[in-house]
Amino acid sequence: MKKSSKNYLISIVGATAIGKTALSIKLARHFKTEILSSDSRQFYKEMSIGTAVPNTDELAAAKHHFIQNLSISEDYNVGSFERDALKKINALFENQNVVIMVGGSGLYVDAVINGLDYFPDVDKKVREKLNKQLEEFGLENLQEQLKKLDYISYNTIEIDNPHRVIRALEICIGTEQPYSYFKNKPKEPRNFTPVKIGLTADREIMYNRINQRVDIMMENGLLDEVKSLYPFKHLNALQTVGYRELFEYLDGNITLEFAISEIKKNTRRFAKRQGTWFRKDTKIQWFDYQDDFEKIVTYINTQIQ
């Protein structure tokens, strides 16, 4: 694709619960455009409360794409998202020159803006064996294995995410090359210019917002949502914060009170990892979550004119 300076993808990133959804809607209305979600947890129809999907009013305020468009049983990954998102972005650029993308899934954001690294196919039995290891010995066992096989990836991927750890390990084992060996190869150029916006807040404020969001999720029926998904708890889509902990409660391993405290703790850890990921990108322009909307628009206008 030939890169065009006339098309702009405004990417809004930041930690969970920081206010990305509200800002994306304001920007979409201001620029009279549409929104793509790059939040990998919000793709699934069955996961609504625990993934903080935009509510009915928010979805009506601006047109959204890639929100609850899949079932948890569907095999979908970051490569699929890169393909589908670029197709949708190019279609939207037929009628406008600004599109909004919002989400805190760093890998999915990078896939759209920069392109993915591609890896050789690996025998499915490798992943099956790793999944069994995870079930029998826990995530820490896999983390230690990755540390020995690929220290670079151990220090750069989302190490608390079982799916990411297993993906890195299956490449290490299946190809006999480190996962990091296949990273950062030349990518196909995009036909848009990205404008990267990041939202941030003091740590205490961010953590308080996370704790409050979890309490609201529980009040809104998160436990019932998780109960309805219990028969599918083995699926990759459900190996995520807010669901794992309540599955543990339903299994009788922990109390509900402890499960809720674990959701808050693990969400705070997730937010910290998001911050670490995005802070590495020096092209992101950061704003405090309480900054005036006009201040953000003024910056964007300097980038798209």
Binding residues for ATP: 14-21
Q: Check whether 2 has a pLDDT greater than 80.
A: no
Question: Would you state the pLDDT for residue 5?
Answer: 52
% of the chain with per-residue pLDDT over 70: 98
In the block, residue with structure tokens 């196919």: 121
- Around Cβ 144, how many Cβ atoms within 10 Å? 12
CA contacts within 13 A on the Cβ side of 195: 22
Output the pTM of the full model: 0.81
Binding residues for substrate: 16-21
Binding residues: 14-21
Q: Give the span between the Cα atoms of 272 and 279, in whole angstroms.
A: 11
Residue 205 has what DSSP assignment? H
Residue-wise pLDDT tens digits, 161-185: 898 899 999 999 999 999 999 887 7
Q: Over range 34-45, report the average pLDDT.
A: 96
Q: Which amino acid is at 194?
A: P
Residue-wise pLDDT tens digits, 57-85: 999 999 999 999 999 999 898 999 999 99
Residue-wise pLDDT tens digits, 242-293: 999 999 999 999 999 999 999 999 999 999 999 999 999 999 999 999 999 9
Domains of the chain, each with CATH number or no CATH: 8-115+189-304 (3.40.50.300), 124-182 (1.10.20.140)
Helix then strand count (H, E) for the chain reads: 13, 6
